[in-house]
Amino acid sequence: MKYAIVGTGGRHQMFRNAVTETHAETAELVALCDVNQSRLALSASKVPNRGGNGIATYLAEDFDRMLTEQDPDTVIVTTPDYLHDEYIVRSLRAGRNVMTEKPMTTDLARLKRIMDAQRETGKKVTVTFNYRYSPARTQLKEILMSGTIGEITAIDFRWYLDRVHGADYFRRWHRYKDKSGGLLVHKSTHHFDLLNWWAASTPVSVSATGKRDFYTPEMAIKLGLEGHGPRCHTCPVAHKCAFRMDLEADEPLKQLYLDTEKDDGYWRDKCVFADDITIEDTMQVQARYASGTSLNYTLVAYSPWEGLEVKFHGTKGELTHKHIEVHGVFAGGNRERGGDEEVEAMTTELHLAGGLPQKLDVWTGKGSHGGADPIMLGYLFNPDGMPEDQYGRASDQVAGAWSILTGIAANKSIAENGARVEIAQMLAEAGITL
Ligand SMILES: NC(=O)c1ccc[n+]([C@@H]2O[C@H](COP(=O)([O-])OP(=O)(O)OC[C@H]3O[C@@H](n4cnc5c(N)ncnc54)[C@H](O)[C@@H]3O)[C@@H](O)[C@H]2O)c1
């Protein structure tokens, strides 16, 4: 199978390496595409064993020519979120399959374009929800599927982003709601996808609150950072800022962003306390599912630790999972937290009515995102070499749509002072059929 990748930033490296190294026997990378010529050249230079002129690279304006000349079966989309729809739709209409990073897209107008194009072309869209593949989350699916806790009546789900990872969403394109959908779409797409998959259901109605309490100009003053600049690289108070991102000191980040910014002016290290940020850092959502399950959800982006807590309430008992997930999030690892070493703690507890709580042996795996990425890449690029997936982890455009609809409805609810949003009505008004 032949693949092309559009968007050669941080995330594409995982797909490029999977296609050109780990799964090179079943996959072939035929081209790379980006707006930034230097980032393209950097990525092409990392592709091993390419003779001749190496890997073909195309600027974004030549995307359609790339499809014609290089004839990929599948286009892998790893651009910023608000551009996914453009490349998904153009690829589908050119007769290609698509693998897209999450979130599939950011708003209803873009979602409609994707659903229409997929329906009209019949081509395949895969949304790469790596979290489903992490062994500990798959184990929860296994327990829930087995009916051990009975009907799932309610779920409490909390995700905490720490001040390294959480802050990173406030440095670049993610920090603008029109480019990422805000964290309730950009980040929570993972969580709402897990919840839809775990509960084997889809959301019906949503209400939410959201605010920005921490990454604010006022907080910069409280932290003694008066006179800060627009970015860390040239900031006069960077030496006393705990949120500094030092691109110069981190070779992979320097190569990928600082050395390439002359081409497109993309600053990787904008100040997290700037006043032009338009996303929230503190969000709470309540939702009701078609199955009758109700959900309480919290996402905070400035916690002292990173991870999740989820509790499933069932008619026969409770299932509780906590994952303290502290890992390097930057390309070069995170020195403050001890390189790329993962310092994790996971617990899963089953408490059936009438019995004592039981601590379960948590399923684990090796590799990024708690062992999820290598398993997902196996299913994506060498499905015949993998065991049959009894958990239904592959995600198409419909699962991609459901995973963003809770967040899109939550954004609407926040804009309407917490009003309850009915998803069927929202979809009907946007002319979307799933
Ligand atoms: N599943 C996960 O765990 C995970 C983790 C990280 C990122 N992601 C997703 O991957 C995607 C990329 O994130 P990233 O961190 O690599 O971002 P990034 O900003 O590092 O990379 C984006 C790339 O897209 C390029 N680009 C910008 N405009 C373009 C255009 N018009 N046409 C073509 N290319 C263009 C940029 O030059 C850059 O090279 C996002 O959708 C993000 O949500 C997913």
Specify the CATH number for the domain of residue 95: 3.40.50.720
- Flag whether 383 is in a domain: no
Distance CA 221, CA 202 (A): 43
373 lines ligand 1 (CB under 6 A): no
Same domain? 170 vs 189: yes
Q: In total, how many domains does the chain have? A: 3
pLDDT tens sequence across 241-293: 999 999 999 999 999 999 999 999 999 999 999 999 999 999 999 999 999 99
130 lines ligand 1 (CB under 6 A): yes
> For the chain, how far is it from start to end, CA to CA, in angstroms?
28
pLDDT tens sequence across 175-225: 999 999 999 999 999 999 999 999 999 999 999 999 999 999 999 999 999
Q: Which atom of ligand 1 is nearest to the CA of 79?
A: 24
Q: Closest residue (by CA) to atom 40 of ligand 1?
A: 80
Ligand 1 center to 288 CA (angstroms): 32
322 lines ligand 1 (CB under 6 A): no
- Flag whether 191 is in a domain: yes
pLDDT score, position 330? 38
> Edge-to-edge strand order for the sheet containing 74-77?
56-59, 28-34, 2-6, 74-77, 97-100, 125-127
193 lines ligand 1 (CB under 6 A): no
pLDDT score, position 343? 52
Same domain? 144 vs 99: no
Same domain? 68 vs 204: no
**Which class for 113: exposed (0-12), middle (13-18), buried (19 or more C-beta within 10 A)?**
middle
- Contact at 8 Å (CB) between 230 and 134? no
Ligand 1 center to 78 CA (angstroms): 5
- Flag whether 377 is in a domain: no
pLDDT score, position 344? 64
Q: Where among 69, 95, 130 does a domain terminate?
A: 130
Pocket test for ligand 1, best of 13, 88, 101 (most atoms within 8 A of CB): 101
pLDDT tens sequence across 406-417: 999 999 999 999
Q: Closest residue (by CA) to atom 8 of ligand 1?
A: 11
Ligand 1 center to 34 CA (angstroms): 10
Same domain? 281 vs 426: yes
16 lines ligand 1 (CB under 6 A): no
Q: Which atom of ligand 1 is nearest to the CA of 264?
A: 37
Q: Where do we find the tokens 């997936």? A: 389
State the CB neighbour count (10 A cutoff) for residue 317.
18
The DSSP code for 364 is -
Share the mean pLDDT of the chain: 94
Ligand 1 center to 400 CA (angstroms): 17
Same domain? 56 vs 197: no
* Residue 112 pLDDT exceeds 60: yes
Which region among 50-64, 161-175, 201-215, 223-237 has the lowest average model confidence (pLDDT)? 50-64
pLDDT score, position 345? 84
Average pLDDT over every residue of 320-332: 65
187 lines ligand 1 (CB under 6 A): no
Q: Closest residue (by CA) to atom 7 of ligand 1?
A: 11
Which one has a higher pLDDT value, 53 or 235?
Answer: 235
Ligand 1 center to 77 CA (angstroms): 8
Distance CA 345, CA 343 (A): 7
- Contact at 8 Å (CB) between 72 and 33? no
Same domain? 204 vs 231: no
Q: Closest residue (by CA) to atom 39 of ligand 1?
A: 9
Give the domain range for residue 301: 131-214+277-367+396-430
- Flag whether 375 is in a domain: no
* Residue 374 pLDDT exceeds 50: yes
Same domain? 62 vs 28: yes
pLDDT score, position 326? 67
> pTM of the entire structure?
0.95
36 lines ligand 1 (CB under 6 A): yes
Same domain? 319 vs 290: yes
Ligand 1 center to 75 CA (angstroms): 14
Amino acid at 4: A
* Residue 341 pLDDT exceeds 60: no
Amino acid at 130: N
* Residue 78 pLDDT exceeds 80: yes
* Residue 428 pLDDT exceeds 60: yes
Same domain? 178 vs 281: yes
Ligand 1 center to 249 CA (angstroms): 22
- Closest residue by Cα to residue 171 from 276, 40, 328: 276
Q: Where among 107, 130, 153 does a domain terminate?
A: 130
- Flag whether 372 is in a domain: no
* Residue 57 pLDDT exceeds 90: yes
Distance CA 323, CA 131 (A): 13
- Flag whether 388 is in a domain: no
pLDDT score, position 327? 52
